[in-house]
Every structure is written in C-alpha cells, then in structure tokens.
Structure 1
Amino acid sequence: MATVELEAANRSGDADTLATFKEIYNKLKEELLSDHAVEFTDESLQWIDHMVDYNVLGGKCNRGLSVIDSYKILKGVDVLNHEEMFLACTLGWCIEWLQAYLLVHDDIMDNSLTRRGKPCWFRVPQVGLIAINDGMILRCHVSRILQRHFKGKPYYVDLIDFFNEIEFKTTSGQFLDLITSHEGDKDLTKYNMKIYRLIARYKTSYYSFYLPVACALLLAGENLDNFTGVKNILVEMGTHYQIQDDYLDAFGDPEFIGKIGTDIEDYKCSWLVVQALECANEAQKRILSENYGKSDPACVARVKDLYKDLNLEEVFRGYEMNSYNKLITGIEAETNKDIQNVLKSFLFKIYKRNK
C-alpha cells in the first residue's frame, strides 16, 4: 500500500489530524479494492491501486482537511470523537476523489503537460486516453464511499444531491471555459470580466470552497438553505482563488507551484488577458491577437512581456488587497462567530499564496 504524501509543511493542521487523515485514505482505498460489485482481475486491481494513488494523492489536500477544520469549529471542539473524525475525514477524501476525477479530465481537455510536479495521468506511458475511463471510475468511487459510510444518516440524501449539484456546476464551468476558448473560433472580443467571473464561479468556487464547508454543515445537522450568505462569501472567495491561480500560471515558478502554466498557449479566458484587453492600446491589442493562443515559446514570451509592460503584476496586487478587504467585511457581518471563524480560516489559507 502506498504511503500517503501530504504537503503539510505549509499548513497549520496538527500532526494527529494529518496522521488520521492518512490512515483513513488507506482504509477507504482498501475498501474500494475489495468491493465485490465487480469481479476485477489482479492486473486491473493493480492498475486501479496505482491510478488512485497517482491522482488522488500529491496535492495539498486543503479541501479535504478543511472539512475537518470547519466541523471542529462548528462543534466548538479541538478534538472530535472517533466516529465524528472518521466521517469528517471520509467526506474530506470524497472531495479529494471528486477533484482527482475533475483534474484527470481537465488535463486531457487542456492538453496539459504536468500536474502536481509530475506528468498528467493521460501522459503516463500505457495510459493515454484510458484516463477518461479512469476519471469516471474515480467519480464512481465517491458515490460508493458515500453509500458505504453515510447511507442511513439523516443527511445522506442531501449529501448525494449536493455532490451531484456541485459536479454539475463544476462541469458546467468547464464547459463555459472550453466553449469560450474554442480552438476553431478564436475571438478575443468574447473575453470580458462577466464571462470570466462566470467561469471562475462555476469551475472553481463551488467545489473548492463551498463544498467543504457545506459538508461540515451537513455533518453538524444544519440546513444549507439557512446559509445563503455563507455560500455567497465562499463563492466570491473561490473567484479570488482562481484569479490568484491565473496570475501564478503566468508569473509563478513551475518548480514551486507544481505545474507548467499553459493558459496563454491554450487561449484561456484568464484574468490576466481580460485585464490586458481592458487597458491595452490598439497596438498592444494587436500583439495579443497575433500571439495569444500559440504554443511557440516566442509568442508566449511576447504575451508575458506585454503583461509586464501593462504592469499587470501590480494590478493583481491591488486586486488581491481590495478583494481581501471586501471579504473580511462580509465575513465580519455574519452574526454567528463560529461561521466567522470557519470563513476566516479559509481566507487566511489562500491570502497571498504563492503556489
């Protein structure tokens, strides 16, 4: 059984929580490999074992760990009992499994090179487009984990419905992203802040920010309909996160952030190109039109040079500070102190991140 590797050095979680989280991953994976719903061969089981480790592990696991952190805050305790901890960790891993499925397919659609410091799964020798089916298996795992450990809980149906809803929103965001930057219809005039924010909201915000907190709320016996304001703050926080991601795609160190940015080559509707279009003169817009969306390193360099000429690094720093202040104002308007603490814990993890 592979050892779980978590990038814990940059996270303030305690060692006991991380150790328990690792143990529960191994338990959940072992249950899936022992699932008798399908008669797998030894070869196929070895493939799934490796595939799950390769794609579910290797990230920061902030989404999954945030379920535990949020649940502790909502319950007002530093230590959860054995069952509470197990259920919180299991939901956390369900989110990590869901993300793995989304990233496997996202990397294929974007023709990406690396993910988490290693080749994308579909680029691994002998994998190729088998990765499409592997992604579907990862998504099916989420449903089977939920069924095994939450069926009979009063919130089970809500969990199933919620994961389905989040998956729909996220894949719809991916669709908006893909259709806006369609290879056969390259048109920078379609790129504006309205469409950008729609893509960021649906592709990133719901599953990365709202889903972990909603899982904690459901575990705590809460009705999600009572937390619309919390959802809105978390969705806006997710947009903040996506803008950071777009900035790092162009200006981050690939060795440090764990992937090679390809937004320029992929003709993505990124925050940086939208900002550039809003402030560029006609000559600068021609540079964008002639070079954006091309894989030639010289074209990519010209776009990045233009970003620097337009001082977009400083524009980003200004956005980051203003967004942070607005989020803090919204959080502090929440009357429930526990909810405030949950939201602040999320914000403090991402503010001024560099990877």
Structure 2
Amino acid sequence: MADSSSNGTAAPAAPAAAAAAASDPKSSFLSIYSRLKSDLLHDSAFDFTDDSLQWIDRMLDYNVPGGKLNRGISVVDSYKILKEGNQLSEDEFFLASALGWCIEWLQAYFLVLDDIMDNSHTRRGQPCWYRVPKVGLIAANDGILLRNHIPRILKQHFRQKPYYVDLLDLFNEVEFQTASGQMLDLITTHEGEKDLSKYKLPVYRRIVQYKTAYYSFYLPVACALLMNGENLDNFVDVKNILVEMGTYFQVQDDYLDCFGDPEVIGKIGTDIEDFKCSWLVVQALERANEDQIKTLTENYGKSDPTSVTKVKEVYKDLNLQAVFMEYESTSYAQLISSIEAQPSKAVQEVLKSFLHKIYKRQK
C-alpha cells in the first residue's frame, strides 16, 4: 500500500478538517473516505489493472458510504467525549475517522453477503450490489475484498500505535460474533419449513446481541477507548451495557417496523411478510391463545395484505403496543442506572449519548 509516511503514522487530514467536523460532522467524515479509498487503490500488494481499479472504485462507492454512517461517526463523537472537551488535532480526527470507516467497511461487507443469502432486492434505495448488471455472484468476492480492506487500513495508519494489535483483535472478535449471530439467524428463520415454535425470547436475544449489538454499539466505543489509551479488559461492564443497549435498539426497531409511521422512520416495515424473528411475534406467541396462535401460524410470513392485517390484529388484541411501552420504560431506567454507576464521567457521557439517540427515534 502506498504509505504516506515511513513510520506508518497517519499524515494530517485536510487542513481544518477537525474544526469543520464540529459544524458538519457527516461531510467532514466523508472527506476521509476519499483518502482511504485512494490508499486502497494504490496498495502495492496487488498489481492493479485499469479494469480492476475501476471495478473496486465503483464497488466501494456503491457499497460503503451510502448509509447513515452512524456507526462510523460514533467513533469520532465518542473519542471527542473521552477527550473531555479538548479540541481534536487534525491527526486525531483523521485516526478516529479512519477507525469509523473501518466499521463502515465491516458493515458493507456484512450487507453485501447478507443480501445474497437473503435473496434481497434493494438496499439503501437501490438494487443490491449482486443484482447490479454484470456483478452477480462476483459480489461474494467483493464482500471478501471489503473485509480484507479493514486490516489494510489498520496497517497503513495504526501499525506504529501501541494499541494496533488490540485493534486487530477487536475487529476479528466482533466479526466472529456477528457472523455467528448471522448463522443463528439463518438456521432459525430460513432453514426448511417455516416454524414459529423456534421463535423464543432467549433465541431472539442471542441473535440480536451477536448479529447487531456487538458491531453496531460496542465496536465504535471500543475503538474510541483504545485510541484514548484504555485497556478494554477494564471496560467489561461498558461492553455489557452497550450490548444491552443494542438489544433495546433492535426491539425498538422491530416495534417501529410494525407500528411506526413510514414518513418518520423512513421505510415501510416488512418483518411480518419476511417471517422475521421479530420481538413482536415472540411476545405474541408467549401471550396468544390457541386461536391466535393458529392465526399467526397461518398468516405470518405471507406477503398478501390480508395476512399482514390479520397478524397486526392479533398484535393489537394482545395490546403489544402497551407491552412495548412497558419494556421501553423498564429498559431505559435500567440502562440509565447502569450507566450512572460507571466511575468515569466521560464514559457515562459516551453511553448516554448513544442511549439518547436511540430513545429519540420515535419521539
């Protein structure tokens, strides 16, 4: 890879990038993507042809920067809070952003392969990458490339840092946890005949925690902690809080999929049609009588509007909206209590910033 410095430390970001981040964090974060992509397109480990350069350039632009970028930007935000109000240097802003982009690369890798496994049609308002003409199952190898770009970025910019090995270990562990969660999701929801009897709360929680919570909530904060010189072994309680927060986030997401206003949440929910192991159906199965279970069994996972309406009627008859409100209130109180028990005020602020972003989604 074309290195910007002989000792592997990062060169400064564009002038005033850190200052600009305060007024427009997303644009500032996006500016770092272009540099990281350029580094990858000049990686000396591979003799690129013009065709391969064009392919990777297009593949990256299509899959990496198109989402909300919440996970990546959270690294920068968390590191700023840990710095306790001190202005980030250009170098610190670049490094925090680079780690944030590593998480966005990880997300892109998961989504490219997940869409193939789920036979999905669209992602972020455009055709899934594997459905783009002339891409097809080349997308599987593109997913592998996306995953391999992460250690290339880390080697380029962090190999002289004392926490370099810890970063590699962190990304490897979280990737394993996420892939294992995906495996559990697939064998629970997609293997053989549709079987609602598998949809139990312990299974749901395990899928959510491993498939979503570790990489979406713990990983950004762990990256910021490592940059701040911390030992992650001292933050097991913080990890547990963030994983529980990730569960809370997914429960809320499942609720909004059914009961949220599409104009507010930005999508039309399809969990019922897709036979998802949703918190709502798990709760319904725990509370339903024989007739209601029969209705769910006959209609859950079907795409016709009549079946979807029948499922939603069962949810309303079981008053799952009130069940969610009670869950949300209890979970929020427990999370706040756990957060306020943390000895570091800065860590408390990081955790509260995550929690408040989730809580505001349907307010």
TM-score, normalised on structure 1? 0.91
Inter-partner Cα distance in structure 2 for 1:255 and 1:42: 43
Consecutive unaligned residues of structure 2, counting only runs of 5 or more, are: 1-20
TM-score, normalised on structure 2? 0.89
**Superposition map of 1:36-51 within 5 A:** 36-51=44-59
Q: CA RMSD in A?
A: 1.9
Q: Deviations over 1:295-337 (max 9, x none)?
A: 3443233223322332323322222222111111111111211
Q: 1:106 and 2:114 equivalent?
A: yes
SS in 2 for 1:144: helix
Counterpart among 27, 31, 36 of residue 35 in structure 2: 27
Q: Which amino acid aligns with 1:190?
A: K
Inter-partner Cα distance in structure 2 for 1:335 and 1:123: 49
Greater shift in the superposed pair: 249-258 or 174-183: 249-258
Greater shift in the superposed pair: 52-61 or 246-255: 246-255
**Contact 1:116 / 1:259 at 8 angstroms: preserved in 2?**
no
Aligned to 2:228: 220
Greater shift in the superposed pair: 200-209 or 181-190: 181-190
**Superposition map of 1:1-12 within 5 A:** none
Aligned to 1:71: 79
Q: CA deviation at 1:74?
A: 1.2
> Structure 1 residues 156 and 276 mapped into 2: Cα distance closer, same or farther (>3 Å)?
same
Inter-partner Cα distance in structure 2 for 1:95 and 1:15: 23
Counterpart among 151, 154, 160 of residue 162 in structure 2: 154
Q: Percent identity?
A: 69
**Superposition map of 1:1-355 within 5 A:** 14-253=22-261, 257-354=265-362
Q: Which amino acid aligns with 1:85?
A: F
Matched residues, number: 343
Greater shift in the superposed pair: 271-280 or 251-260: 251-260
> Structure 1 residues 301 and 51 mapped into 2: Cα distance closer, same or farther (>3 Å)?
farther
Aligned to 1:3: none
> Structure 1 residues 210 and 268 mapped into 2: Cα distance closer, same or farther (>3 Å)?
same
Inter-partner Cα distance in structure 2 for 1:351 and 1:188: 30
Q: CA deviation at 1:241?
A: 0.8
Greater shift in the superposed pair: 277-286 or 116-125: 116-125
Greater shift in the superposed pair: 74-83 or 63-72: 74-83
**Contact 2:302 / 2:308 at 8 angstroms: preserved in 1?**
yes
Greater shift in the superposed pair: 247-256 or 59-68: 247-256
Superposed structure 1 runs of 4+ greater than 3 Å apart:
16-19, 251-262, 295-298
SS in 2 for 1:39: coil
**Contact 2:75 / 2:100 at 8 angstroms: preserved in 1?**
yes
Inter-partner Cα distance in structure 2 for 1:57 and 1:104: 13
Q: CA deviation at 1:96?
A: 0.7
Consecutive unaligned residues of structure 1, counting only runs of 5 or more, are: 1-12
Q: CA deviation at 1:16?
A: 4.8
Aligned to 2:17: none
**Contact 1:67 / 1:91 at 8 angstroms: preserved in 2?**
yes
Inter-partner Cα distance in structure 1 for 2:298 and 2:133: 35
Inter-partner Cα distance in structure 2 for 1:16 and 1:294: 43
Aligned to 1:5: none
Inter-partner Cα distance in structure 1 for 2:128 and 2:119: 9
Greater shift in the superposed pair: 103-112 or 164-173: 103-112
